[in-house]
Chain A
């Protein structure tokens, strides 16, 4: 399942992280989670082994969308919400490119929600890094589609009235083939998950729990804080039980149609009762339930939640073209113009 894209030319030389660091000054706030994500991406790109000129990084608008300036690749910093549509066009038009999208919670799920879900539905081969900081940062602190209900922001002085999106619901609702979640303050895990996403063929969405130090500081602290991480984070691994806690003695089991936390050794709970993580299960029901877990009653799942094989739109497009090229009598425009009902004047 985890394959490199054989349509993308391989680099003749071994590339390193420094090959992908651009000469531009990085203008994110000190302490912003974006720095860690940038570092992880420049670490992963050379590991994939493609030629440097075959990477394209695309973004929309927002703090995270400055990303293309900071990686030394072909880049496109586009308009608000449209990166997924632009990236779709790139990969379909030229499948020999490794296409990366950087997008924020507002960019992908508010103004660009339609492009986001439809790119996922088509399964166009690209990696979408979703920087979820639960706030509009670049416009200085308005609530976003992932801001928790009741949050006081510049545009919700008395608290927000709306329910937030859980990005996993959109991805899986749109029949996504890959969804992962990872915290911005765990660089090793971040790079591992991004690497796995890049090796997924299809639309891979990685939600990064990204901290905005200025407008939503510690918004993910309940999950990512070092002091609470053991109890509030469940690090997923394919084929392994859903265990968490400092001593890995707590786990997730199914009770009827609901998940529940169970402590091994208490009330007759044994290791066999704990669910085993299967990200490649085509039916997303259990993966959706796992993705929706959050404190205080559950830990939040991080790592690869869903990764299933399915044909990609760009490859199907190519196949259809090759099929028609092999069987259609129309091989050039002159053939086309001279087909059909012709009236000849002599």
Chain B
């Protein structure tokens, strides 16, 4: 019987959250003399800097120090390819690029001063969108092509063929806690940086390089983030570096917290895409050959665009077997903010692409899209190899999809919706059921490792540390449950401690949904080491075999004797048994060749599906999500309540991506949706009227992951593709499903009204040609 694994325990910080006692970076008490920083940013999307006059900044009230490119003692870059300067050095490449940093006695003084620089720009022609970048062949990284079979030949030979283009917008992470770094100089050039980061180890290295120091000289700590969603994977380094540079220069603690507008203008987001496809298929809708050209808006530097776009390629199959396939992936360089990680990491865009195509095929053939989806599903034991040559060994679609189809009453509701639409002139409903198959592991194989550190104290309490970071996803809770399970104690006896580069070194980013998989295993290993030491000690002192020692309920059974766990620990201490241990884990089986883009990049897949129903208003394009049914596979859940939270929260976030969340740049290259007043994430009122969410009851990971659970962070976001297709279905119904509408994402009311108008025009044209009436 499980002690704690599998139980719906509350988040380890729940009480602290609701009382306001949970401490975020900005809540850490400031030592006397703390300065506050702000960043001076570029106002031009592409320009040479002829000169900068920072004197007005220096002279502003309260200002103590100003730093720019020439003041960086070490490496003036945070990027992967030396293309992300901390401070622009002669060239600015997007509106919002950091040019200098200023530290002042108050945050208000710093922010006011940051606006006072006199920068003389020589403007260069900017590239502001994907189309222009493609035209100019402007790329941050070389184009990648993945081929299997002969797509061109298969398309040409197919009974049916469709070509098209769809555009897909980006998305801001909109974590509620914005970026922040707090740098405290210590002795001998040693620096402590509190950073709201998913990757303390990277912040540590980048700060060290900027300061011309070494990893040993910088400690980065993060107890929790107020949300990350990928936006705090590489992006925190900029703020940490500037705070650390100013702290070094002044010898005083420096806190840098950009306001929401700067946060959104300066930092990267989800990549937007232009998707072009050419597909050949048979009369049942089975795809025989497909060519994709996937061009993404990477912004001004590479950042994580390589692996993000790779993951798009790896998910352009979603659940479908593509025999003859060719995927071309362009990584467009534009004079906009450098896009980065965001929950799903390119996967959602690939999945969106294939789901769009499958829906188009169904509409072309006048088949139910669900039937076309099924016709293309990966098989079991056949048709089961992905375009990147990985065999899908854990396919559960054939169980999961029918179960959701049944529980959501999909077929009956489609009939009801058709009847409703026939009677309703201005409001139309639509429904869609879409599947998700998401690959779990970092595609960069070396990231798939983790460490943990556990201390046992003589009162039987446990201090737990690991390389993962807590951003709200419940990682600390789950890992504590794993350790509690291993030691047979209550989670209350365990304190989760801040991620800290001085406790667990070289930790990977908490990303790729891998937090629990990796850190859970590492912590389990550490706990197991301690348990084994205690077991050996107990067995020896009580003269019983080790098999007669067991841990449960805060007690230790030693043969016939029962001890308190704390008592045994105390005895072990007295007997000079080591009570601290590290644990390590690396994911087995995975391998991947970057050159050929083939191999087994993923340890396993997570699956899910959602059926969504919407209603749209044909006069305004407004819509409402009426009902959503979700069935999602989390394997054997470590904590069902936390997993439900990830599934529901991911779905709603994905819904925002495809509906209300629109990034809008003006012709001058300025992002004008840079605050919640203009950038609209879902609110409570956007919850579907009916929201039935279930974890797949039979879920179990085929692979020996931590307690056979599955990763859950990213996959549920893609369940929201069903909402987009339900909207498309509703738009299609406005033309009695005679033509497929052209709908781009996000499907804002404006986009929906445009799609309706465009559909109306095409129907009218078709009607003229055939002599029949328009819609």
Co-complex (A, B): no
B binding-site residues for A, Cβ under 8 Å:
none
| Interface set of A (CB-CB < 8 Å, partner B) | none
